[in-house]
Amino acid sequence: QVQLVESGGGLVQPGGALRLSCSCSRSIFRFRTMSWYRQAPGKERDLVATITSAEGTNYADSVKGRFTISRDGAKNTVYLQMNSLKPEDTAVYYCNAQDHWAGYWGQGTQVTVSS
């Protein structure tokens, strides 16, 4: 059973920063990709950032230059460093892991950007 647990969300002012963590119950090296998604109220869940098994990264255009995805294999954890936050970044952020057979989701962590 794969479990993903997100943490690090909270309330931050515009221009501020947060670092989200996704802790995995299994080795993260087993997954082809690990990603962060977000879902704002009344909207679909959108892909924010992906890191591949080869440590390639991809970002949504809306977060390029502001967000950075990274991983720590020793801790089985994936991070999302979010800088220069904007009110439109407000959403529930979800961690996703994909292996050859299935996709797995965490429970999400709320990020609110407001003054």
pLDDT in tens, 56-71: 999 999 999 999 999 9
The percent of residues in the chain predicted with pLDDT above 70, rounded, is 100
pLDDT value, residue 2: 93
Report how far residue 9's alpha carbon sits from residue 85's, in angstroms, rounded to the nearest whole number: 12
Q: Return mean pLDDT, the chain.
A: 97
35 near 51, Cβ under 8 Å?
A: yes
Beta strands in the chain (DSSP E): 4-7, 10-12, 18-24, 33-39, 45-52, 57-59, 67-72, 77-82, 91-98, 103-105, 109-113
pLDDT value, residue 51: 98
pLDDT value, residue 93: 98
SS3 of 84, please? Answer: coil
What does the pLDDT look like over 9-30, one tens digit per residue?
999 999 999 999 999 999 999 9
pLDDT value, residue 56: 96
pLDDT value, residue 1: 86
pLDDT value, residue 89: 98
18 near 36, Cβ under 8 Å?
A: no
94 near 32, Cβ under 8 Å?
A: no
